């Protein structure tokens, strides 16, 4: 076969699923954190349930699956894990409020669960030392948020819970900013919104 008869099909650019995953995480986190911080009433938690299932949970799971195609172990682990977190949180509220499970004697178990999510976040945060600074800040604020919320739940300390809410609000806003930067930079085809480095732009 002659060389000039061999044609190479153009490779289509791959979209960055982190933009979707971060906005799903950030928006849901902001809403819940407004409740934890005491800015919105505690009675507003049921509003978080469908958002956590349809957006915070499901869209992060989609993002995590797409990260598999890109060979991104960190993105896969983070988005699938936090997508599952939002499903766990929503189902816990849904089952508890409808008395499908008895939460009356759980004691500090929910607080311990939040601390374990903090442990997961802490080890993921270590990996962000090699990633864009926006991810470093998101995971730093997130593992401390989990620690505050977990300790607040264990000790029944509303002050710690409110502090976790305020820090979670910052974390959610950082995630929204990260998504904004990824989508904007990808759309413009060049770094427009600073993210600390450029690897998130593709």
**CA 94/CA 88 separation, integer angstroms:** 10
The per-residue pLDDT for range 51-106, each reduced to its tens digit, is 999 999 999 999 999 999 999 999 999 999 999 999 999 999 999 988 899 988 99
Domain extents for the chain?
16-99+110-183
* Per CATH, domain 16-99+110-183 is 1.20.120: no
Q: Is 71 left (phi over 0), alpha (psi -120 to 50) or beta?
A: left
The per-residue pLDDT for range 134-169, each reduced to its tens digit, is 999 999 999 999 999 999 999 999 999 999 999 999
The per-residue pLDDT for range 178-191, each reduced to its tens digit, is 999 999 999 999 99
> How far from each other are the two terminal CA atoms of the chain, in whole angstroms?
36
DSSP 102: -
What is the per-residue pLDDT for 200? 43
Task: Tell me which of 26-30, 71-75, 98-102, 115-119 is least confident.
Answer: 98-102
Q: Is the pLDDT of residue 2 over 80?
A: no
What is the per-residue pLDDT for 10? 54
Question: Cα-flanking dihedrals φ and ψ of residue 73, to 5°?
Answer: -65, -40
What is the per-residue pLDDT for 155? 96
Residue with tokens 């427009």: 192
**CA 10/CA 121 separation, integer angstroms:** 39
What is the per-residue pLDDT for 53? 97
């Amino acid at each position: 076969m002659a060389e000039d008869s061999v044609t190479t099909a153009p490779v289509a650019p791959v979209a960055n699923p982190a933009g979707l995953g971060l906005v799903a995480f950030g928006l849901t986190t902001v809403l819940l954190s407004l409740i934890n911080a005491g800015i919105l009433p505690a009675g507003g938690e049921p509003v978080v349930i469908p958002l956590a299932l349809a957006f915070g949970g499901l869209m992060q799971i989609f993002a995590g699956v797409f990260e598999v195609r890109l060979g991104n172990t960190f993105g896969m682990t983070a988005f699938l894990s936090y997508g599952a977190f939002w499903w766990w949180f929503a189902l816990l509220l849904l089952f508890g409020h409808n008395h499908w499970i008895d939460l009356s004697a759980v004691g500090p178990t929910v607080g311990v669960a939040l601390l374990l999510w903090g442990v997961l976040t802490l080890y993921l945060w270590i990996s962000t030392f090699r990633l864009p600074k926006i991810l470093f800040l998101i995971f730093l604020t997130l593992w401390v948020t989990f620690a505050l919320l977990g300790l607040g739940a264990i000790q029944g300390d509303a002050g710690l819970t409110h502090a976790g809410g305020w820090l979670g609000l910052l974390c959610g806003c950082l995630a929204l900013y990260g998504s904004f930067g990824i989508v904007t930079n990808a759309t413009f085809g060049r770094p427009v919104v600073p993210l600390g480095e450029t690897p998130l732009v593709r």
